[in-house]
Amino acid sequence: MSRVVKLAVIPGDGIGPEVVAEAEKVLEAATAASDVTFEKTPFSLGAGRFLDTGDTLIDDDLAAIAQHDAILLGAVGGVPGDPRLKDANIERGLLLKLRFELDHYVNLRPSKLYPGAAGPLADPGDIDFVVVREGTEGPYVGNGGAIRRGTPQEVANETSVNTAFGVERVVRYAFALAERRRRKLTLVHKTNVLVHAGGMWKRIVDAVASEHPGVDVDYLHVDAATIFLVTNPSRFDVIVTDNLFGDILTDLAGAVTGGIGLAASGNINPDGAFPSMFEPVHGSAPDIAGTQKADPTAAILSVALLLDHLGLGDEAARVTRAVEDDIAARDATPRTTAQIGDAIAGRVRA
Amino acid sequence: MSRVVKLAVIPGDGIGPEVVAEAEKVLEAATAASDVTFEKTPFSLGAGRFLDTGDTLIDDDLAAIAQHDAILLGAVGGVPGDPRLKDANIERGLLLKLRFELDHYVNLRPSKLYPGAAGPLADPGDIDFVVVREGTEGPYVGNGGAIRRGTPQEVANETSVNTAFGVERVVRYAFALAERRRRKLTLVHKTNVLVHAGGMWKRIVDAVASEHPGVDVDYLHVDAATIFLVTNPSRFDVIVTDNLFGDILTDLAGAVTGGIGLAASGNINPDGAFPSMFEPVHGSAPDIAGTQKADPTAAILSVALLLDHLGLGDEAARVTRAVEDDIAARDATPRTTAQIGDAIAGRVRA
Ligand SMILES: CC(C)[C@H](C(=O)O)[C@@H](O)C(=O)O
Ligand SMILES: CC(C)[C@H](C(=O)O)[C@@H](O)C(=O)O
């Protein structure tokens, strides 16, 4: 009864390959004793590929990736200000294109302050919440344009597009998640200013809430939410929010829980029509690429999300526990990327 | 050579009237010995007025307010969820209408961690920066709409409108401010996603930067900026950003510098064509209205911004110093809103 999982691996740019190597080690360790085997296909995509070939993500890549059961991604993006990348928007052309084309409508970003992890807050309390960020709509749709570009009369617009279809499905996912957690759901938006989009989000949350009487629902404007993230982060359990607000809140959440070196994410297509994609929240950090200074923990925790998504809950739990133990044991001694990966893989095997 | 300043006073809702009363006390104390007299006109506007009359901000109010030299505002907004306010958007219809109609294109929000103020960061360092938030464009323009409202086929859009005219004038203001401060300017946007609006902001900042070779300019994506606000806030001097990002960053900045009970703001029309408006960043907090629990410090610091704007730099400095001294002397003894106002007014007079 062995099961084969086809995994597309996109190491990407900068520290991407280094952290993905450790994530693969841990994946291997976590599933060595199981009857699951991973059939991995590497995809060379990112700024590097663009510089070599001029391509960002061509249809053939996309079609090939879509044949897989899941995707593990490191980080993409070249050196900021590289003139050769001036007109290449790797983020839009690759990362966002994958999220949109593979209908990753749930961008799942857990935030947990692990014992031993040092965040910037003096008195953080227990932090353990999940941001369910919408992944396929909002200001991310690429529906913008400019006229009279480069002149004093330029007008540049960006349109946030939101649909009841898109909002309802992610809101339903968030409520289901809240039911499995502490049964608290917070909608974050800016309804007093973005009255149409915000109004629709609010109405849909209220409607779905009536089907979940056991879930305690509240609402915060995005500005107020950032205040609570630093003054009372333990008030949150599940946050559901739009694509842009989710982007902002999860970087901040990563910072308050010890840095985005620890923040994992899943870009999920819950329907299973397309492979879901797991990636650290951090970027490619080209300034430290190749130095073995990157912390692979976020990539490793993304493997835990991947395992969970594949229904391998026990294996996922072993990875998370190994990371927790590793973080609790951390001291000031510097370790290389590989040393951290080896240590965590060792704990998973133990 | 006495000078008369016509001041429109909008106490507003909730704690607004309480904090404005203290701000007026301090204004009085700061200018008692000067040759400036304030001719004050109160305007009864806000949720209360709406409930009484059905009006939010009628043309006559606006015309009357525009006849003044400056505006002092407390806070507006009724009790959240009040069914009688369901279709009234006091924020849009009053606060944002004032900002837009009076062309308050600079929303100036200083963030300073005063000695003695307790913020949530374990190791905050020296925090002293100013956010120059664009006030008349971006996602705040009200250019949204929905079709098939309330149905499963609803589509709700919000358009962020940005003009070279609008961006250039606020960017110039920010550079001029940086020249008078520590000569560091950070543009915050999301150029990798909002490529048209972000691209225009970036090009305009780069162009104006060439006229200010002494100012050190950098760029951060909004998500990364929130990380730095909690891990290294002293890296900032002047931040220039769009209306929505500025809203988010300044609430977070308020939190890290000891709470929005201390955060002041000016909605400025630098051209002087319209009166500028000074207000605390906090809201009307109806839950504690009338209890004398509100901290009037943000309203009082808004008076310092007002004095500064009127060219009364010495008086402004006396208010700021009095607030600094008061904060440094704070202990756990609770004080009423009026006691804090009296204490600060007393220090101003001393
Ligand atoms: C790289 C960028 C396009 C991306 C985003 O904005 O979603 C990143 O910040 C993230 O959060 O994954
Ligand atoms: C009340 C609201 C419309 C307002 C804003 O979003 O600008 C407030 O949050 C602020 O920052 O002054």
Q: How confident is the model at residue A89 (pLDDT cuts 50, 70, 90)?
A: confident
Most distant CA pair in chain A, distance: 67
Catalytic residues of A: 140, 190, 223, 247, 251
Identity of the amino acid at A152: P
| Domain shared by B101 and B127, yes or no | no
| Closest ligand 2 atom to Cα of B281 | 12
pLDDT tens-digit map of B251-261: 999 999 999 89
pLDDT average, residue stretch A79-106: 92
pLDDT over 70 at A1, yes or no: no
Residue B44 domain flag = yes
Q: Considering every ligand atom shown, identify the ligand nearest to the alpha carbon of residue B189 and give its number.
A: 1
Same domain, A134 and A74: no
pLDDT in tens, A44-85: 999 999 999 999 999 999 999 999 999 999 999 999 889 998
Asked whether residue A226 falls in the same domain as residue A126, the answer is yes
Q: Is B110 inside a domain boundary? A: no
A156:B197 CB<8 A: yes
Residue B328 has pLDDT above 70, yes or no: yes
A265 assigned to some structural domain: no
A247 and A293, same domain (yes or no): no
Q: How far away, in angstroms, is A281 Cα from ligand 1 center?
A: 8
Q: Is A134 in the same domain as A89?
A: no
Interface touch B151/A168, C-beta < 8 Å: no
The residue of chain A nearest to residue B283, with distances taken between CA atoms, is A224
Judge: B251–A194 Cβ closer than 8 Å, yes or no. no
b/e sequence B111-133, b meaning 16+ C-beta within 10 Å: bbbbeebebbbeebeebbbbbbb
Tell which one of B91, B107, B160 to mutate to probe ligand 2, the residue whose CB is within 8 A of the most ligand atoms.
B91
Closest ligand to C-alpha of residue B277 is 2
Alpha carbon separation from B317 to A304, A328, B280, B325 (Å, rounded): 55, 49, 18, 12
Residue nearest to atom 12 of ligand 1 (CA): A281
Q: What is the SS3 assignment for A95? A: helix
Q: Are residues B162 and B100 in the same domain?
A: no
pLDDT at B195: 96
Segment B28-40, tens digit of pLDDT: 999 999 999 999 9
Identify whether the C-beta of residue A337 lies closer than 8 Å to the C-beta of residue A294: yes
List the beta bridge partners of residue B8: B41, B71
Considering the domain architecture, whether residues A131 and A99 belong to the same structural domain is answered as: no
**Per-residue model confidence (pLDDT) at position B88:** 80
DSSP assignment letter at A121: B
Q: Helix, strand, or coil here: A156?
A: strand
Which residues span the domain enclosing A40?
A: 1-103+288-350
Question: Total domain count for chain B?
Answer: 2
* Of the listed ranges A61-70, B85-94, B271-280, B291-300, the one predicted with least confidence: B85-94
* Residues A185 and A124 reside in one and the same domain: yes
- Mean pLDDT across chain B: 96
Distance from chain centroid for Cα B187: 19
Q: Report residues whose beta carbon is within 6 angstroms of any ligand 2 atom.
A: A 192-193, 223; B 91, 95-96, 247, 281
Residue of higher predicted confidence among B145 and B332: B145
Write down the pTM of the prediction.
Answer: 0.97
Residue where the block lists tokens 């590097």: A48
CB within 8 Å of A118: residues ≥ 6 apart: A258
Kindly list the residues from chain A whose CB atom is less than 8 angstroms away from the CB atom of residue B224.
Answer: 251
Local confidence band at B349 (pLDDT 50, 70, 90 cut-offs):
very high
Query: How far A134 CA lies from chain B's nearest CA (Å)?
Result: 15
Give yes or no for a contact between A297 and A110, defined as CB atoms under 8 angstroms apart.
Answer: no
State yes or no: pLDDT of B87 exceeds 80: no
pLDDT of B1 over the 70 cut: no
Q: Which residue has the higher pLDDT, A218 or A89?
A: A218
Nearest CA to B177 among B133, B219, B127, B138? B133
User: Are B202 and B245 in the same domain?
Assistant: yes
Question: For every residue of chain B, which 3-state class applies, written as one string?
Answer: CCEEEEEEEEEECCCHHHHHHHHHHHHHHHHCCCCEEEEEEECCCCHHHHHHHCCCCCHHHHHHHHCCCEEEEEECCCCCCCHHHCCCCHHHHHHHHHHHHCCCCEEEEEEECCCCCCCCECCCCCCEEEEEEECCCEEEEEEEEEECCCCCCCEEEEEEEEEHHHHHHHHHHHHHHHHHCCCEEEEEECCCCCHHHHHHHHHHHHHHHCCCCCCEEEEEEHHHHHHHHHHCHHHCCEEEECHHHHHHHHHHHHHHCCCHHHCEEEEECCCCCCCEEEEECCCCCHHHCCCCCCCCHHHHHHHHHHHHHCCCHHHHHHHHHHHHHHHHHCCCCCCCHHHHHHHHHHHHHC
Residues A128 and A79 in one domain: no
Catalytic site residue from B105, B114, B140, B173: B140
Residues B91 and B138 in one domain: no
Q: Tell which of B256, B289, B320 closes a domain.
A: B256
Active site residue B190: yes
pLDDT tens by residue, A296-311: 999 999 999 999 999 9
Active-site position among B206, B218, B223, B314? B223
Q: Could you give the strand order of the β-sheet that contains B138-147, starting from the edge strand earlier in sequence?
A: A138-147, A155-163, B155-163, B138-147
Residue B193 lies in a domain: yes
Percent with pLDDT over 90 in chain A:
95
Beta strands (DSSP E) in chain A are: 3-12, 36-42, 70-75, 106-112, 128-134, 138-147, 155-163, 184-189, 216-221, 238-241, 264-268, 276-280
Rounded to the nearest whole angstrom, what is the distance from the C-alpha of residue B244 to the centroid of ligand 2? 9
The C-alpha atoms of residue B81 and residue B67 are separated, in whole angstroms, by 35
Set of chain B residues whose Cβ sits within 8 Å of the Cβ of A229: 252
Same domain assignment for residues B251 and B293: no
**Distance between Cα B139 and ligand 1 center (Å):** 20
Q: What is the CATH number of the domain that holds A81?
A: 3.40.718.10
Q: Among the options B55, B128, B251, B325, which is catalytic? A: B251
- Tell me how far apart the alpha carbons of residues A177 and A189 are, in angstroms, rounded to a whole number: 19
Average pLDDT, chain A: 96
Residue A109 located in a structural domain: no
Catalytic, B140? Answer: yes
pLDDT at B86: 80
Q: Which atom in ligand 1 lies closest to the alpha carbon of residue A251?
A: 11
Minimal CA–CA distance to B278: which of B264, B297, B295? B264
Q: Across the interface, do A196 and B157 touch by the CB < 8 Å criterion?
A: yes
- Answer whether residue B343 is part of any domain: yes
| DSSP element (H, E) containing A340 | helix A337-349
pLDDT tens figures, B104-144: 999 999 999 999 998 999 999 999 999 999 999 999 999 99
